[in-house]
C-alpha cells in the first residue's frame, strides 16, 4: 500500500462572485474604506450621519458594516434594515436612469438583501446595466452566464461578457477570461491568450491572477527559469494572503522546484495556508510531521492535521489518516477504522484509495477477506489509470488468487500499465512473454519489456535481463552482459541477483573467478532469506572456498535452506549428519533429511537415501525400497544412482538378477563419469 500521500490540488478556479458593495466613488465609499482600515472613531459617526440623512450608498455601506462587523458588532437585523432602506433609496434613482442605482438594485436582488431574492430579475437588470457599458456589470453578467444564475448556462456568452469587461480593465474579468482560455470554456484553448489576460489582471494586483500566472510558468517543469518566475508570482499572491499560493509555495520548497529544496521553509508556507483552512496544506503539513521533514517528527500532530483535512473531504487526508490507524502511528492502531477512512476516500473516487482498499480486501485487513471485492476495487482504480492497482489486478488474474485464473486478461492489464511506463508491469509482461502465458511465447519481446523496465532501474527486471543473457533466451548468450545486469540488480539488494552473481563469479563466467566476492554476494542474499544462497553459503563454508572452513556454520546455513524446502540443502544437511561434520553424527537424522530431499525429486538425495536403505544405515535395511530410490535417481541421470542400480541388478538385491541390465546401467554411469562404474565394467570384462 502506498504510504503518506501529498495532495495534488488544482489551483485553477474562476473567481467567485463576492457580493460587492455599492458601486460608487463618493464620500460614503471613502468612509467605509477608512473603517476597514481601522479608523472607526471618525469614520463611523460620519457614515451613520449620511445614512440617517437618506444617502442610499451610505445606507448600503452601513448595512455591510453591520453584516461584516466593521467598527460595529455584527447585527443581522440592523444589516437587513439598512439594506432595506438602501433599496428604497436606490429605486427612484434607478427609475430616473441612474446607472449606479440600477447596478446596486440588481446586486441586492441577486443577494436577496433589502429586497426579495430574484435571480432572473437580477440578471435582466444586470444585463441592461452591462449593455450600457459598466465594466463590473459586464463581469457579473459573464459570471451569471457561466454559473447559470438567473439565466441558462452559456459559456460562450460568459466569455463574451468577460471580454467586454476585461477590455475595460476589470481585473476579475481578465482573470476569468484567462481561465476560460486555459480550460477551453466558451473559447478555444489558447495558453498564450490565457497568459496575456491573466498577466493583465496580475499586474493590477489581482491575487487569483497572480496565482494563475504562476501556475502557467510552473507547468513548464523542465524550464528552470520558468520555475523561478512561478515562485516570484506565487510570492506576490501569497503576500496578499492567498492561501492557495501559500500552499503552492510550500509545494515548490518541498520538491525543490524553482528553489533549493527546503522542507522547513515548506512547512512554514503549509502552516500559513493551513491556518486559513486550506485542507491540502493541512494534509501536506501532516506528511512533513509524519516523516520528520523540516519539522520534528510528531505523529500525533500529523494525525490531527490529517483529521482536520479529512473533515474537509480531502481524499489524501482520509487516506493518510486511514493509514495512520492501520499502522498505529499517532493514533491507537485500529484496522477497522483505518479501512473505513480509506473506504471514504475510495467512495469519493480517489484511485489510490481504491487500490489500497483492494489491498485490504485481498489481505482481509480491517474488512472481511474477499478476493472478488479486492478485484472490483482494483478495477475501479484501473479505470482511472492507476498503475499500481492495474498491476495488482493483473497479478490476481495471472495466478488465480481467489478469482478465476485468466492469464490473457492479466497480460492485457499489464500491457496497459506497461505502455504508460510502469516498470513493474513492463517486467511482468516480459515474464508472460518469456513463459508464453496469456500471450504467445516470444523471448525477444520478453527481452524488450525487461529492457524497458531495467533501464528505469527496476531491480527485478535487471535480474531477469541478466538471466536472459546468462541462458541465451531470445538473444545470444552473453555472460559479461549477464554479470553487468546481475550486478545492477544485486546492488539494489535483489537477493536472486545476488545469488546468481555469486554463481557467475564462482564459476568465472562473464568476470574473473573470485571466490571471496562470490561468497560475499551469497551471504548478502542468504541473510535476506534466499534459500539457494543459504545453500551456497553452507557449501562454501563446508569446503573452505572463498572463506575459512567452518563446518558448524555450514550446518547452520544448510539447515536454514533445508527448512525452506531447498532439496540440495536437505541432502547436504543429511550428509553432515551422516558424516558427523559440524554436528554430532546421527544416521537417523541423516536419513530423515535424505528422505525430504528425495521426495522433492533431488537425484543426489534419492541416491543417498537408497544407499542408506541398502546398507541399513539409520533405517531398517530394505533392498526393494533401495532399488526403487536408486532407479529414481538413475532415471534422472545421476551417475551414482545409475551405478547403485547396476550393483543391485548384478547381485539380485531387491530385484531379479540381470547381468545385462546391470552392464547397461554401469555403462550409463561410466559415461557420466563414475569411476566405480568404470571399475565394475572392467571386472565384468564389459569395458
pLDDT in tens, 258-311: 999 999 999 999 999 999 999 999 999 999 999 999 999 999 999 999 999 999
d(CA 188, CA 31): 44
Q: Are 397 and 409 in contact (CB under 8 A)?
A: yes
Q: Mean of the per-residue pLDDT values for the chain? A: 95
Contact 11, 211 (CB under 8 A): yes
Whole-angstrom distance, CA of residue 127 vs CA of residue 134: 10
- C-alpha 300/C-alpha 298 separation (Å) is 6
Q: What is the dihedral of CA 569, 571, 574, 579, to 10 degrees?
A: -100
Whether residue 19 is predicted with pLDDT greater than 90 in this model: the reply is no
Q: What is the mean pLDDT of residues 72-94?
A: 95
DSSP string, 545-573: SSS---HHHHHHHHHHHHHTT-HHHHHHH
Q: Cell match 525487461: residue?
A: 450
Is residue 170 within 8 A of residue 135, CB to CB? The reply is yes
What DSSP state is assigned to residue 14? P
pLDDT at 165: 97
Interval 311-342: pLDDT, tens: 999 999 999 999 999 999 999 999 999 999 99
Nearest to 460 by CA among 447, 452, 450: 450
Q: What percent of the chain has pLDDT over 90?
A: 95
Query: Are 53 and 69 spatial neighbours (Cβ–Cβ below 8 Å)?
Result: no
Angle (deg, nearest 10), helices 623-634 and 603-615: 160
Predicted confidence band at 138 (pLDDT cuts at 50, 70, 90)?
A: very high
In 318-465 the beta strands, taken as DSSP E runs, fall at: none
Phi-psi region of 38 (alpha: psi -120 to 50; beta: other; left: phi over 0): left
Give the pLDDT score at 22: 52
Amino acid at each position: 500500500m502506498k504510504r503518506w500521500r501529498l495532495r495534488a490540488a488544482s489551483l485553477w478556479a474562476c473567481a467567485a462572485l463576492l457580493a460587492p458593495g455599492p458601486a460608487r466613488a463618493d464620500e460614503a465609499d471613502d468612509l467605509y474604506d477608512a473603517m476597514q482600515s481601522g479608523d472607526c472613531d471618525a469614520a463611523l459617526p460620519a457614515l451613520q450621519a449620511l445614512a440617517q440623512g437618506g444617502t442610499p450608498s451610505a445606507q448600503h455601506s452601513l448595512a455591510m458594516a453591520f453584516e461584516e462587523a466593521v467598527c460595529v458588532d455584527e447585527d443581522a437585523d440592523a444589516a437587513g434594515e439598512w439594506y432595506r432602506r438602501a433599496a428604497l433609496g436606490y429605486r427612484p434613482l434607478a427609475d430616473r436612469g441612474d446607472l449606479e442605482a440600477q447596478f446596486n438594485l440588481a446586486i441586492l436582488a441577486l443577494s436577496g438583501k433589502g429586497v426579495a431574492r430574484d435571480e432572473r430579475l437580477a440578471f435582466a437588470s444586470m444585463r441592461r446595466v452591462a449593455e450600457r457599458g459598466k465594466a463590473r456589470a459586464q463581469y457579473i453578467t459573464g459570471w451569471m452566464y457561466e454559473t447559470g444564475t438567473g439565466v441558462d448556462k452559456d459559456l460562450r456568452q460568459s466569455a463574451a461578457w468577460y471580454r467586454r469587461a476585461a477590455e475595460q480593465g476589470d481585473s476579475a474579468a481578465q482573470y476569468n477570461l484567462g481561465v476560460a482560455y486555459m480550460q477551453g470554456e466558451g473559447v478555444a484553448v489558447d495558453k498564450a491568450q490565457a497568459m496575456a489576460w491573466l498577466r493583465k489582471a496580475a499586474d493590477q494586483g489581482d491575487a487569483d491572477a497572480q496565482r494563475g500566472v504562476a501556475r502557467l510558468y510552473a507547468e513548464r517543469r523542465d524550464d528552470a527559469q520558468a520555475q523561478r518566475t512561478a515562485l516570484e508570482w506565487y510570492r506576490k499572491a501569497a503576500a496578499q494572503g492567498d492561501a492557495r499560493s501559500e500552499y503552492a509555495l510550500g509545494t515548490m520548497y518541498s520538491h525543490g522546484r524553482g528553489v533549493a529544496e527546503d522542507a522547513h521553509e515548506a512547512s512554514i508556507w503549509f502552516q500559513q495556508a493551513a491556518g486559513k483552512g486550506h485542507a491540502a496544506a493541512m494534509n501536506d503539513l501532516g506528511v512533513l510531521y509524519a516523516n520528520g521533514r523540516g519539522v520534528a517528527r510528531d505523529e500525533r500532530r500529523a494525525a490531527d492535521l490529517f483529521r482536520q483535512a479529512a473533515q474537509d473531504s480531502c481524499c489524501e487526508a482520509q487516506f493518510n489518516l486511514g493509514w495512520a490507524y492501520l499502522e498505529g502511528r499517532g493514533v491507537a492502531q485500529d484496522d477497522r477504522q483505518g479501512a473505513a477512512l480509506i473506504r471514504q476516500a475510495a467512495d469519493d473516487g480517489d484511485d489510490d484509495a481504491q487500490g489500497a482498499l483492494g489491498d485490504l480486501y485481498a489481505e482481509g485487513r480491517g474488512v472481511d477477506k474477499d478476493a472478488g471485492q479486492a478485484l472490483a476495487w482494483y478495477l475501479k482504480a484501473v479505470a482511472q489509470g492507476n498503475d499500481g492497482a492495474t498491476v495488482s489486478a493483473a497479478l490476481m488474474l495471472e495466478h488465480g488468487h481467489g478469482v478465476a485464473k485468466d492469464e490473457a486478461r492479466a497480460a492485457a492489464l499489464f500491457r496497459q500499465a506497461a505502455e504508460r511506463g510502469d516498470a513493474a508491469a513492463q517486467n511482468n509482461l516480459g515474464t508472460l512473454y518469456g513463459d508464453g502465458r496469456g500471450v504467445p511465447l516470444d523471448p525477444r519481446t520478453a527481452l524488450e519489456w525487461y529492457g524497458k523496465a531495467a533501464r528505469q532501474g527496476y531491480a527485478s527486471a535487471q535480474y531477469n535481463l541478466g538471466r536472459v543473457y546468462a541462458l541465451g533466451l531470445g538473444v545470444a548468450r552473453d555472460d559479461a552482459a549477464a554479470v553487468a545486469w546481475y550486478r545492477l540488480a544485486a546492488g539494489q539488494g535483489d537477493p536472486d541477483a545476488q545469488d546468481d552473481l555469486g554463481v557467475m563469479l564462482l564459476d568465472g563466467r562473464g568476470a574473473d573467478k573470485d571466490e571471496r566476492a562470490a561468497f560475499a554476494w551469497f551471504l548478502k542474499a542468504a541473510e535476506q532469506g534466499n534459500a539457494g544462497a543459504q545453500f551456497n553459503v553452507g557449501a562454501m563454508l563446508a569446503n573452505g572456498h572463498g572463506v575459512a572452513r567452518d563446518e558448524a556454520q555450514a550446518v547452520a546455513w544448510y539447515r536454514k535452506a533445508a527448512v525452506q524446502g531447498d532439496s540440495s540443502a536437505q541432502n547436504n544437511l543429511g550428509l553432515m549428519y551422516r558424516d558427523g561434520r559440524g554436528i554430532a553424527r546421527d544416521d537417523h537424522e541423516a536419513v530423515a533429511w535424505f528422505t525430504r530431499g528425495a521426495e522433492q525429486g533431488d537425484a543426489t538425495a534419492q541416491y543417498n537415501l537408497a544407499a542408506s536403505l541398502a546398507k541399513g544405515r539409520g533405517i531398517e535395511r530394505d533392498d526393494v525400497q533401495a532399488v526403487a530410490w536408486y532407479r529414481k535417481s538413475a532415471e534422472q541421470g545421476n551417475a551414482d544412482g545409475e551405478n547403485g542400480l547396476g550393483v543391485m541388478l548384478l547381485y539380485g538385491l531387491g530385484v531379479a538378477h540381470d547381468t545385462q541390465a546391470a552392464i547397461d546401467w554401469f555403462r550409463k554411469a561410466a559415461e557420466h563419469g563414475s569411476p566405480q562404474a568404470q571399475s565394475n565394467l572392467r571386472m565384468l570384462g564389459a569395458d
